[in-house]
Amino acid sequence: MSDIVPTFGIQSVVSKVAAAELGLKAGTPIAYRGGDQPNNALSLNVMNPGEIAATAGTSGVVYGVLGDVNYDPKSRVNTFAHVNHHSAVAGSASDTTRLGVLLCINGTGILNAWMHRNVTPDISYAEMNDLAAQAPIGSDGVSIIPFGNGAERILQNRETGCSIHGLNFNKHSKAHLVRAAQEGIVFSFCYGMEVMQQMGMDIRNIHAGKANMFLSPLFRNTLASVSGATIELYDTDGSVGAAKGAGIGAGIYKNADEAFSTLEKLEVIEPDTANRQAYAEAYARWKQVLAKA
């Protein structure tokens, strides 16, 4: 039976056989372990209750930290021990509880990629974002349900598929379709985040790497405005987080604060309070469409 060791600490060392295969030095310590989303949260220095990490690639993830034991009885989101969780023992402080709540949505960036291939194949993603910005908030009544990549856990494993609603051939264009797709992705995030809020998570600040869907000004502005959370974009990724985690475990850094002292914040996006009502109405209409899907 293997020994139980801390997340940040020597797990093992590289063997001679592995060293020969990988070109590494035998005896190199392996000093950290973590799943992909807990590790992504680490890379963004998301360690304490109320802090949120998000990614939006083919699928989308919102990962938040809880300081109390809780779970969703319908399993629409999953709860894990976060990388800095410590089991409570008699006489210890309760703040050792650090649980990661994971919201995963299959159909997010893959919808944006589908739109690019099939609706706007002749322009770049950046140009597609500019095109989408020409349509008004709410896409002039067009709503897109983005769940076309299989069953969705936040829908209790229903497979609703992707669908377009409210399309009018006389007034809607490519711009409306592309904007409605990005808005639909945002709305799916917010729909799942409501489950996290029901579990007691206070979502005020979202950390993300400046990549994938977060490269779109429309996407990130809509997410901030619908959720009411400030978004902070950082120059980092999961590989950097894993390296820093190993540095903590190997004693190169004395703690996480030192390891992430050089984490560079690239941009801050605040909610658009002037258009709060327009965003709220678009999201409400989307939820009504989803309820009938």
Lookup: tokens for 166: 């409210």
User: Where do the domains of the chain lie?
Assistant: 36-236+263-292
Tell me the C-alpha distance between 16 and 121, whole Å.
50
What is residue 90's predicted lDDT score, i.e. its pLDDT? 47
Does the domain at 36-236+263-292 match CATH 3.30.420.40? Answer given as yes
Lookup: tokens for 163: 């669908």
Tell me the C-alpha distance between 286 and 183, whole Å.
9
Residue pair 224/272 in contact by the 8 Å Cβ criterion: yes
Please identify every stretch of the chain with a pLDDT value under 50, giving residue numbers as ranges. Answer: 90-91, 94
Backbone φ and ψ of 44, nearest 5°: -100, 10
Give residue 241's Cα distance to chain centre. Answer: 15
Exposure b/e, 70-105, CB count within 10 A at least 16 = b: eebeeebbebbebbbbeeeeeeeeeeebbbbbbbbb
Tell me the C-alpha distance between 252 and 285, whole Å.
52
